[in-house]
Amino acid sequence: MIPQSFIQDLLNRLDIVDVVDRYVPLKKAGANYLACCPFHGEKTPSFSVSPAKQFYHCFGCGAHGTAIGFVMEYQGLGFVEAVEELAKSAGLSVPKEESGNFERRPEGEIDALSDALQRATRFYRDELKRSETAIAYLKKRGLSGEIAARFGIGYAPGGWQGLAGAVPDYQAKSLVQAGLVIEGEGGKRYDRFRDRVMFPILNQKGAVIGFGGRVMGVGEPKYLNSPETPLFEKGRELYGLFQARQAIRAAGKVIVVEGYMDVVALAQHGVEYAVATLGTATTSVHVQKLLRQTDNVVFCFDGDAAGRKAAWRALENSLALVGDEKSVKFLFLPQGEDPDSYVRQQGKAAFEALLDGAMPLSEFMLRELAAGVDMQTMEGRAHFLKLAQPLVQQVAAPALGLMLRQRLAELAGVSRNELAQLAPVKPAVTPVAQRNKSSRKPPSLTRKLLQLLLYQPGLAAEFDASLSGEGSEELKTLRALLDFAAITSGSPRTTVAVLEYFRGTHHEALLSEVSGETLLWDDGFEVAAEFAGALEQLHKHERQRRVESLLARSRTQGLSAEEKQELQRLLQGGSVSNRCA
């Protein structure tokens, strides 16, 4: 676990404008900086970065956060990875602290794994230069030296212990943990990868975390991947994503294929925005990571039964993530073709023409479901509806969900009302950004106080009102914010400190939403006066609530002498009490 104090120190040393500008060119616009949002497609800039508040906010899609949050979203990194990336840029080393819920690995273990993988990468690349057979194989597949170098392709020789000369200690535990060496009975060791073309697998930062090895002739398995390790989790990583990021943004789309050679062959022919899964089915994490990079994802599979099965799994894991502004499509190549063979024979233009005709997710889903039943009978159409309903209900995108239900009713031969009665629609949750745009009513008093405290966190020291009752989510968040102010008393408090403190809690979404609203305030906004007025309103509400409570008690049980004095004081305009938790 990274200490909270270090996170705050890191954020104090960073300027979010500099951080964001490394990835997205910003233009000065008044007190803030603007750009077209990197997280959703738009032509008019609505992505605002505040140097004063040190956070970003998109008024189009609602994306919001600190410098850490931006790097997490833009690069698809986890929290710890993003902190490490930013700390490195600031010349800091990330400390770790013990936690009862945090599984610490022995000191230096991860470094040892990384070192072993880097040594193996250099060894495989050097061996490729010496292997005429491997070089001839790559040339036969149409790959140039430049592409081989770009993807770090290498060759694992056929000997049982080829890596022994490339590492200081072939008996080191890290070699087994990194998946490079297999330890058999009696402790005998041998290389996992032998006589294979080697494809290094990189994480989002460009570090090698595993390998894929492909046979050059007859042999099984055709592809051999590294096992799961502390650095490598197949369900989270995508081959070629690090190399393809810029091309994905330039093309506005990404292609997901099945093999390493498909990715490399496409890049060789100028289609540089392709990635591949790593010997596993497409997961929701894969889809989420890709939709962070672009609004358009195309899954490209073989047209056989295995390819359609893989496509269906990808569809199932995309339904809840696709949005009205996000497109997921499916392309099935002609029988006997894969992306590698097709692009080599037909060229880039022909392949991209196929991409343009890829089948939308909705069409693929309904077509596959209808193909499995007899749509000419009532029983078949009833079965079709039963199969489709749970899938359609997963679609969170309002417009797409509506049109899917319309098409579903047409195909089943029922009206929309009849379909609605048969399968009630789950209430749609309006995105935060849309709620903000459509709402014109003034904020509640509690929300106003949240806005003011986020705009100027130091005001929490002046908060002297009572917060009674169970209250709404806004009130619960206000209480939590005041508790945070109490435990950090004496320390400088900033908006980013608040947002990072509540990262990962159920208060995070509301605080992000509210802080985004404060970007609309101009420089002349009288924060102190607004806060004093809001506090006075809160005092009045609490006084009225207490008066009503005492009057009700007097009618049923009577009041004590102290309560009578309190009621008289309140009726004369006195305050309820000092702030209580």
Give the number of other CB atoms < 10 A from CB of residue 199.
26
For residue 339, which phi and psi values (nearest 5 degrees)? Answer: -55, -40
- Fold classification of 241-366 is Dna Topoisomerase Vi A Subunit; Chain: A, domain 2 (3.40.1360)
pLDDT in the model for residue 429: 38
Residue 522: predicted pLDDT: 59
**At residue 420, does pLDDT exceed 50?**
yes
Structure confidence at residue 456 (pLDDT): 79
Tokens representing residue 495 in the block: 């908006």
Contacts of 562 (CB under 8 A, 6+ apart): none
* CATH among 3.40.50.11540, 3.10.50.30, 3.90.580.10, 3.40.50.180 for 4-89: 3.90.580.10
What would the mean pLDDT of 384-401 be, rounded to a whole number?
89
pLDDT band with cut points at 50, 70 and 90 for residue 577: low
Q: What CATH number does the domain located at 441-571 have?
A: 1.10.860.10
Say whether pLDDT at 105 is over 70: no
Q: What is the residue extent of each domain of the chain?
A: 4-89, 109-225, 241-366, 373-422, 441-571
Q: Which residue has the higher pLDDT, 186 or 243?
A: 243
- pLDDT, one tens digit per residue, over 297-315 is 999 998 888 889 999 999 9
What's residue 439's pLDDT?
41
> What DSSP state is assigned to residue 501?
H
109-144 residue pLDDT tens? 778 999 999 999 999 999 999 999 999 999 999 999
Distance CA 200, CA 240 (A): 9
User: 543 pLDDT exceeds 50?
Assistant: yes
pLDDT class of 499 with cuts at 50, 70, 90: confident
Q: Determine phi and psi for 234, rounding to 5 degrees.
A: -60, -35
C-alpha dist (Å) from residue 226 to 127, 242, 275, 481:
19, 18, 17, 46
pTM: 0.62
- Judged against a pLDDT cut of 90, whether residue 190 lies above it is answered with yes
CATH 3.90.980.10 at 109-225, yes or no: yes
Number of other CB atoms surrounding residue 218 within 10 Å: 6
Report the alpha-carbon distance of residue 467 to residue 478 in Å, rounded.
Answer: 9
What CATH fold (topology level) applies to the domain 373-422? Pheromone ER-1 (1.20.50)
Give the confidence band of 107 by pLDDT, cuts at 50, 70, 90.
very low
Helix (H) or strand (E) holding 57: strand 55-58
Share of residues in the chain with pLDDT > 90 (%):
39
Q: How confident is the model at residue 489 (pLDDT cuts 50, 70, 90)?
A: low
pLDDT band at 466 (very low <50, low <70, confident <90, very high): low
Higher pLDDT, 501 or 192: 192
Query: For position 108, what pLDDT does the model report?
Result: 66
359 has a pLDDT exceeding 70: yes
**Average of per-residue pLDDT values in the chain:** 84
Q: Which helix (H) or strand (E) holds 209?
A: strand 208-214
Arithmetic mean of pLDDT, 231-245: 90
Other beta carbons within 10 angstroms of residue 46's beta carbon come to: 18
Residue 77 has phi, psi (to 5 degrees) of -95, 160
Mean pLDDT of 364-373: 94
Q: What percent of the chain has pLDDT over 70?
A: 89
Asked if 189 contacts 161 with a C-beta cutoff of 8 angstroms, the reply is yes
